[in-house]
Amino acid sequence: MKILTKQVLDSWNIQIKSAQKLTDQLDDNQLELEIAPNKNTGKYLPGHLIAVSNGMLPLLGLGEKHYPELEIPFVRTPDKNGQDGPDIPTLRQNWKGINQKLSDQFMLLNTSDWLARHTTDTEGAFLKEPHRNKINVVMSRTSHLAYHPGQLAMLRK
Amino acid sequence: MKILTKQVLDSWNIQIKSAQKLTDQLDDNQLELEIAPNKNTGKYLPGHLIAVSNGMLPLLGLGEKHYPELEIPFVRTPDKNGQDGPDIPTLRQNWKGINQKLSDQFMLLNTSDWLARHTTDTEGAFLKEPHRNKINVVMSRTSHLAYHPGQLAMLRK
């Protein structure tokens, strides 16, 4: 089991590194632009990714959200609805901050922790569906983490 | 191990279903459009995804490419370079065809098959890096399968 949980975490780390690199390649002016006409701005996407990563901490039983102030502007409110959230330099710091925080916390979990249920699942439901474990949260968030950078890449010159 | 390989395959199937649904929601005229000014056309993305999925068959030791004719227009050649590949109705059929083919072939592998090395890896390299197994191919292709539909979604009205 150890090798497979490691592979899932490696896959998460590859996507984090790639998304982070892409965000670093785009300057603040580029991130203010829409990724396509009438679609999200570049800024909204890292904001949304940070906010969703934040939510992994309580879901995995690893503490409270690191930047709870990002929940309203980047998860509960669509882009361009008057909830701008922090400025881009702050978001860049938050992006590195949440990735480091998750990386540190992930190191604390062993294989049997990863196979245990996540916090929103009940014991009864977990008995019936043992795949609803913590490592599954990382798998689904890894796909989410690939989906939005595909859009962010459209801002590259 | 069995539960984890199942989870990886479930994750793959979720992304396949989502990408397939998105492609079905777009009509042929929408797929002819660029996803953003001067970017790939909608058509290129399912073409590319089918061609990459094709490559999984030999890589996993599951036979030859199902639609080898898609390799040149959708992997070796960037979009809009005079290699149009098949028309959109044919691509829609190929997309369902390769997904069904992979799904059927995946059923033939058991857990120890998934943990064995993929075909481009040598025995020596695999001994040093046992994570270079068949299930790892599915993990990395699952992220790829999330990345491009994030772009295709730009064509939704």
Which tens digit of pLDDT belongs to each residue from A25-75? 999 999 999 999 999 999 999 999 999 999 999 999 999 999 999 999 999
ipTM: 0.90
Q: Do A15 and B143 touch (CB under 8 A)?
A: yes
φ/ψ region of B20 (left if φ > 0, alpha if ψ in -120 to 50, else beta) reads: alpha
- Measure the CA–CA gap between B101 and A5, rounded to whole angstroms: 27
Confidence of residue A132 (pLDDT cuts 50, 70, 90): confident
Q: Which residue of B has its CA nearest to A15?
A: B143
pLDDT of A1 above 80: no
Residue A98 distance to chain B (closest CA, Å): 21
| Triad B87, A35, A80: Cα angle to 5° | 130
- Give the number of other CB atoms < 10 A from CB of residue A7: 22
Per-residue pLDDT of chain B (157 residues; tens, 9 = 90+): 788 999 999 999 999 999 999 999 999 999 999 999 999 999 999 999 999 999 999 999 999 999 999 999 999 999 998 888 999 999 999 999 999 999 999 999 999 999 998 888 888 888 888 888 999 999 999 999 999 999 999 999 7
Please give the pLDDT value at position A16: 96
Contacts of A15 in chain B (CB under 8 A): 143
Q: Do B4 and A6 touch (CB under 8 A)?
A: no
Please give the pLDDT value at position B132: 87
Residue A143 distance to chain B (closest CA, Å): 5
- Measure the CA–CA gap between A150 and B45, rounded to whole angstroms: 11
Q: Do B7 and A140 touch (CB under 8 A)?
A: no
Fold of A2-153: Four Helix Bundle (Hemerythrin (Met), subunit A) (1.20.120)
Please give the pLDDT value at position B34: 95
The shortest CB-CB distance from A142 to any of B143, B149, B151 is to B143
Mean pLDDT, range A10-36, rounded to an integer: 95
**Helix intervals (H) in chain B:** 2-25, 28-32, 44-59, 71, 88-106, 111-114, 123-128, 134-152
- Would you call A2 exposed, middle or buried from its count of C-beta atoms within 10 A (0-12, 13-18, 19+)? exposed
Q: For residue A59, give every residue at least 6 positions away whose Cβ sits within 8 Å of its Cβ, in sequence order, or none.
A: A118, A119, A120, A137
Contacts of A139 in chain B (CB under 8 A): 7-8, 11
Contacts of B35 in chain A (CB under 8 A): 36, 154
Best residue in A40, A114, A154 for a mutation probing chain B (most B CBs within 10 Å): A154
Taking a C-beta distance cutoff of 8 angstroms, is the pair B145, B19 a contact?
A: yes
Contacts of B14 in chain A (CB under 8 A): 140, 143
Q: For residue B57, give every residue at least 6 positions away whose Cβ sits within 8 Å of its Cβ, in sequence order, or none.
A: B63, B64, B65, B66, B101, B102, B105
Domain segments of chain A: what residues?
A: 2-153
Contacts of A140 in chain B (CB under 8 A): 11, 14
Q: Do B130 and A3 touch (CB under 8 A)?
A: yes
Contacts of A21 in chain B (CB under 8 A): none
- Measure the CA–CA gap between A134 and A57, rounded to whole angstroms: 11
Q: Do B147 and A150 touch (CB under 8 A)?
A: yes
Largest CA distance in chain B: 51
pTM: 0.92
Please give the pLDDT value at position B51: 97
Which tens digit of pLDDT belongs to each residue from A74-129? 999 999 888 889 999 999 999 999 999 999 999 999 999 999 988 888 888 888 88
Residue B59, amino acid: L
